[in-house]
């Protein structure tokens, strides 16, 4: 099962139509191809799926979700923690 953890947009490259997002301290690039131009700006919270930003979410909801994820992650061992955070990039449910 893949969980989409809220990620904060920290950089936007308009030329490549990509954003750099921070997911609980892990930064990665994500495509903006599925979002209307200008809808996402630096500082917004978004949800990703297989490398694409799918939608923008309310900051309060994102922060609430992140607190819950932190509680879950604190109960895991270190290897499982890293897998949970990085898993979104390699989600097996890609429709393949």
Q: Residue 22: which CATH number?
A: 2.30.30.140
Q: How many folded domains does the chain comprise?
A: 1
Q: What is the pLDDT at residue 95? A: 44
Residue 95 lies in a domain: no
Residue-range definition of the domain harbouring residue 57: 7-90
pTM exceeds 0.85 for this model: no
Residue 1 lies in a domain: no
Distance CA 55, CA 92 (A): 20
Q: What is the largest CA-CA distance in the chain?
A: 41
Mean pLDDT of 61-67: 94
Distance CA 73, CA 85 (A): 9
Mean pLDDT of 6-26: 95
Q: What is the pLDDT at residue 96? A: 42
Mean pLDDT of 23-30: 93
């Amino acid at each position: 099962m893949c969980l989409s953890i809220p990620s904060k947009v920290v950089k936007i490259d308009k030329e490549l139509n990509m954003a750099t997002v921070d997911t609980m301290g892990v930064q990665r690039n994500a495509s903006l191809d599925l979002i209307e131009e200008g809808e996402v700006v630096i500082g917004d919270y978004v949800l990703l799926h297989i490398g694409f930003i799918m939608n923008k979410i309310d900051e309060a909801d994102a922060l609430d979700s992140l607190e819950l994820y932190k509680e879950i992650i604190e109960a895991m061992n270190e290897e499982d923690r890293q897998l949970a955070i990085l898993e979104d990039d390699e989600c097996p449910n890609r429709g393949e």
